[in-house]
């Protein structure tokens, strides 16, 4: 009996079982927390009430709160989390650096500057905010990529150039806010990041882009896998390293830009989720990327539910809560890992 | 099969490869030896198109590699750079499957031929039973064999190895060298490698190419290259050279230039013996 099981173990990938368990648990947790996020809030509902709220078209309190407010907000949280975590996972893979996140390629600073400019200087065009944030993210990422180019854009150069450009943009934002300190009030919640007050309009605005970008991310998986062998090895295997990396950076910008355009600057998801998932299922992107996407969705949905209900009547922007809880948790992870290194 | 025509490259004033003309014949095992900074690795990186020459060309099967598609080159020529220090969380089987990359479309399942080549690469490197083991759970020698398996799964005509035995203990070194020899004998694979151990180079190669300061100084069968003059002019050492069963090996005696370590002062002696 024992030998048969041992043999079966050898035939399989050593992580196969773990990956399956993690995938199923994250999926289940996501489903449960999505339902819970519809139930919990200033007004609590039972499962039946939610069912009625979604599927009966009779105008009622459930209908108005569940269908008009909580469902789109939950879905947007889900999409934002999936996009941010995928963007982070892709960047960590192609930079071969566990600290890479959408902030590094200028997505946060670029979107932040564009949003600040619109909100402070052109408040009349506030309707253009999502588009401007997205464009700001894209342009900054392209500038960073172009300035890193020196017969190829190596990960280290991209990270260093990113630090410099982000510093300049950060200064520009601070300057704007100081010069127009009377108008800063409108900018702060956006910079903190959150999905308060979003509805079906915002959902429709991003859903098609999000689906397209997430599908593209799936097609990016083989490219990320080969880039993880290192630039030299990938080149030696006949892979067009620079081309893959360029498109993958563009794709993460798109993913993060989609998130930023509706939710402002939600940090940490892109950094921390792929990191946690990697410690659980390993670095193979066929598993890491999809599970990270689900994990990102899970994290934002759960965090947003807590942020809007736990401190009632105050609604905390989810971005603040995420950084508050995520920071210490990340430190804990690093600590735990260091100990396990010592043990080995 | 592989020729270089006045290949030149420099990245600083003190280092340049100048006008290297070499021809690698099919089925040869060629070892590049020479002191640190002599340009051995750079030469390998040039012919594997990791870096572009400033002038000159590398001709592979009658075509300049610059004009070939990158995947075309990878189907004929595989190279293993110096030991990778990062630990990838892949299994041996997954790593070796990457060797099929040049032969495959990016999307879609591996073909029957792909699978056969992976099986073959695993079996000649004696790693078939390790297929589902994680790379980082292997010993240094096993891991190096796994990387070699990946390179040969490319089914190359020419295999380039940059110091394949560095950081391995002596039995694993011999294991790798025996593997190289058997690949050459059974599959007719041409091998060009940079080796640090000159005795191993002499033992396992058909031909030694000695570089110094970016130039080819000696080129020939081990018997011809192994001479006092080579050790003096290239490595600046005095060496005893022995021969046993038709194989040559050497043992270093002392440094030729100033005995700085013993006397505490550097005295440059004029060359002459």
pLDDT at residue A163, as a whole number: 92
Alpha helices in chain B (DSSP H): 40-47, 70-76, 92-98, 112-124, 140-153, 170-187, 198-204, 222-225, 228-230, 260-263
- Chain A: give the shortest CA distance to residue B256, in Å: 38
The answer for residues whose C-beta is within 8 angstroms of residue A133's C-beta and 6 or more apart is A111, A112, A114, A115, A257, A260, A261, A264
B85-124: pLDDT as tens digits: 566 889 999 999 999 999 998 888 899 999 999 999 999 9
Confidence band of B273 (pLDDT split at 50, 70, 90): very low
Tell me what the pLDDT averaged over chain B comes to: 89
In a domain, A57, yes or no: yes
A27-48: pLDDT as tens digits: 999 999 999 999 998 888 999 8
In a domain, A10, yes or no: no
Nearest neighbour of A236 by CB, restricted to B69, B74, B134: B74
Tell me the C-alpha distance between B37 and A105, whole Å. 36
Which residues in chain A are closer than 8 Å to B98, comparing Cβ atoms? 225-226, 229, 233, 237
- pLDDT at position B13 over 80: no
Tell me the C-alpha distance between A56 and A63, whole Å. 8
Q: Which of A31, A29, A33 is nearest to A21 (CA)?
A: A29
B54 shares contact with chain A (CB less than 8 Å): no
pLDDT at residue B258, as a whole number: 54
* A239/B101 touch (CB, cutoff 8 Å), yes or no: yes
**β-pair partners for B207:** B30
In a domain, B87, yes or no: yes
In a domain, A86, yes or no: yes
Tell me the C-alpha distance between B268 and A136, whole Å. 64
Number of other CB atoms surrounding residue B82 within 10 Å? 15
φ and ψ of B3, to 5 deg: -130, 150
Exposed / middle / buried, residue A1 (Cβ in 10 Å: 0-12, 13-18, 19+): exposed
- pLDDT at position A333 over 80: no
φ and ψ of B16, to 5 deg: -155, 145
Tell me what the mean pLDDT of segment B58-79 comes to.
Answer: 93
How is residue A103 written in tokens? 């902030």
Domain count, chain A: 1
pLDDT at residue B25, as a whole number: 95
Looking at per-residue pLDDT, the higher value among A7 and B36 belongs to B36
pLDDT at residue A212, as a whole number: 96
The whole domain housing A77 covers: 17-330
How is residue B205 written in tokens? 């190669």
Looking at per-residue pLDDT, the higher value among B270 and A59 belongs to A59
Domain at B75, CATH number: 3.40.50.300
- Chain B: give the shortest CA distance to residue A236, in Å: 6
pLDDT at residue B84, as a whole number: 67
pLDDT at residue A328, as a whole number: 86
* A10/B50 touch (CB, cutoff 8 Å), yes or no: no
* A229/B98 touch (CB, cutoff 8 Å), yes or no: yes
The whole domain housing B50 covers: 2-225
Helix axes A285-309, A269-281, angle to 10 degrees: 130
B161-175: pLDDT as tens digits: 999 998 889 999 999
In a domain, B108, yes or no: yes
In a domain, A252, yes or no: yes
- pLDDT at position A337 over 80: no
HSE toward the beta carbon, residue A255, CA cutoff 13 A: 36
Tell me the C-alpha distance between B154 and A237, whole Å. 8
pLDDT at residue B193, as a whole number: 96
* CA torsion through residues B259, B260, B261, B265, sign: positive
Domain at A257, CATH number: 1.10.3470.10
In a domain, B85, yes or no: yes
Tell me what the pLDDT averaged over chain A comes to: 89
**β-pair partners for B30:** B192, B207
Confidence band of A60 (pLDDT split at 50, 70, 90): confident
- pLDDT at position A168 over 70: yes
In a domain, B271, yes or no: no
In a domain, B273, yes or no: no
In a domain, A5, yes or no: no
- Chain A: give the shortest CA distance to residue B201, in Å: 24
Tell me the C-alpha distance between B111 and B248, whole Å. 46
pLDDT at residue A184, as a whole number: 87
Tell me the C-alpha distance between B245 and A320, whole Å. 76
The chain A residue lying nearest B106, using CA atoms, is A222
Helix axes A71-95, A155-179, angle to 10 degrees: 140
In a domain, A341, yes or no: no
What number is the ipTM of this complex? 0.89
A197-252: pLDDT as tens digits: 899 999 998 999 999 999 999 999 999 999 999 889 999 999 999 999 999 999 99
Tell me the C-alpha distance between B125 and B138, whole Å. 14
Tell me the C-alpha distance between A63 and A52, whole Å. 7
Domain count, chain B: 1
- pLDDT at position A340 over 70: no
Which residues in chain B are closer than 8 Å to A12, comparing Cβ atoms? 132
Is A49 within 8 Å of A257 (Cβ atoms)?
no
B257-268: pLDDT as tens digits: 654 444 444 444
In a domain, A58, yes or no: yes
pLDDT at residue B86, as a whole number: 63
In a domain, B246, yes or no: no
Q: Between residues 206 and 225 of chain B, which touch chain A (CB distance below 8 Å)?
A: none
Tell me the C-alpha distance between B241 and A220, whole Å. 56
């Amino acid at each position: 009996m024992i030998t048969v099981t041992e043999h079966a173990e050898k035939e399989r990938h050593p992580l196969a079982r773990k990956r399956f368990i993690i995938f199923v648990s994250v999926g289940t947790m996501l489903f449960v927390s999505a339902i819970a996020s519809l139930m919990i809030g200033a007004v609590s509902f039972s499962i039946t009430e939610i069912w009625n709220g979604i599927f009966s078209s009779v105008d009622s309190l459930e209908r108005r709160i569940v269908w008009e407010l909580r469902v789109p907000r939950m879905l947007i949280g889900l999409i934002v989390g999936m996009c941010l975590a995928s963007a982070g996972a892709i960047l960590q893979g192609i930079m071969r650096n566990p600290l890479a996140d959408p902030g590094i390629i200028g997505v946060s600073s670029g979107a932040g500057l564009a949003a600040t400019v619109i909100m402070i200087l052109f408040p009349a065009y506030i309707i253009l905010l999502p588009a401007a944030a997205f464009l700001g993210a894209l342009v900054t990422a392209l500038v960073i990529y172009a300035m890193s180019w020196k017969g190829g854009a190596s990960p280290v150069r991209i990270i260093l150039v990113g630090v410099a450009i982000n510093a300049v943009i950060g200064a520009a934002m601070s300057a704007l806010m100081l010069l127009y300190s009377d108008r800063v009030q409108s900018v702060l919640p956006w910079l903190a990041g959150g999905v308060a007050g979003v509805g079906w309009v915002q959902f429709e605005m991003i859903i098609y882009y999000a689906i397209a970008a997430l599908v593209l991310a799936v097609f990016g998986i083989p490219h990320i896998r080969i880039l993880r062998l290192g630039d030299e090895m990938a080149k030696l295997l006949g892979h067009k390293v620079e081309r893959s990396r360029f498109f993958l950076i563009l794709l993460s910008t798109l993913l993060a830009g989609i998130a930023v355009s509706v939710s402002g600057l939600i940090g940490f998801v892109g950094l921390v989720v792929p990191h946690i998932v990697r410690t659980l299922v390993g670095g193979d992107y066929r598993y890491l990327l999809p599970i990270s996407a689900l994990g990102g969705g899970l994290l934002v949905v759960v965090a947003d539910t807590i942020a809007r209900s736990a401190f009632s009547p105050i609604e905390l922007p989810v971005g603040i809560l995420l950084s508050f809880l995520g920071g210490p948790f990340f430190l804990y992870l690093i600590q735990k890992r260091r100990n396990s290194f010592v043990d080995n | 099969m592989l020729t270089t025509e006045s290949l030149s490259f420099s990245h600083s004033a003190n280092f340049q490869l100048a006008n290297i003309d070499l021809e690698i014949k099919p089925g040869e095992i060629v070892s590049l030896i020479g002191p640190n900074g002599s340009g051995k690795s750079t030469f390998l990186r040039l012919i594997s198109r990791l870096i572009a020459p400033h002038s000159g060309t590398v001709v592979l099967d009658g075509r300049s590699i610059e004009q070939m598609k990158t995947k075309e080159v990878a189907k004929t020529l595989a190279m293993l750079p110096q030991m990778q220090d990062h630990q990838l969380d892949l299994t041996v089987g997954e790593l070796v499957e990457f060797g099929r990359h040049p032969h495959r479309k990016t999307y879609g399942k591996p073909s029957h031929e792909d699978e056969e080549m992976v099986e073959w690469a695993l079996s000649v490197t004696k790693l078939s039973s390790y297929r589902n083991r994680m790379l980082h759970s292997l010993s240094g020698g096993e891991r190096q064999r796994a990387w070699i398996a990946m390179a040969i799964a490319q089914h190359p005509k020419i295999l380039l190895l940059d110091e394949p035995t560095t950081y391995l203990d002596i039995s694993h070194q011999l294991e790798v060298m025996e593997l190289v020899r058997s690949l050459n004998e059974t599959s007719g694979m041409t091998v060009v490698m940079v080796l640090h151990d000159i005795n191993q180079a002499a033992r396992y190669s058909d031909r030694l190419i000695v570089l110094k300061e970016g130039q080819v100084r000696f080129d020939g069968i081990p018997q011809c290259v192994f001479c006092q003059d080579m050790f003096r002019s290239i490595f600046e050492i005095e060496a005893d050279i022995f021969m046993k069963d038709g194989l040559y090996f050497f043992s270093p005696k002392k440094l030729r230039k100033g005995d700085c370590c013993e006397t505490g002062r550097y005295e440059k002696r004029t060359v002459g013996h």
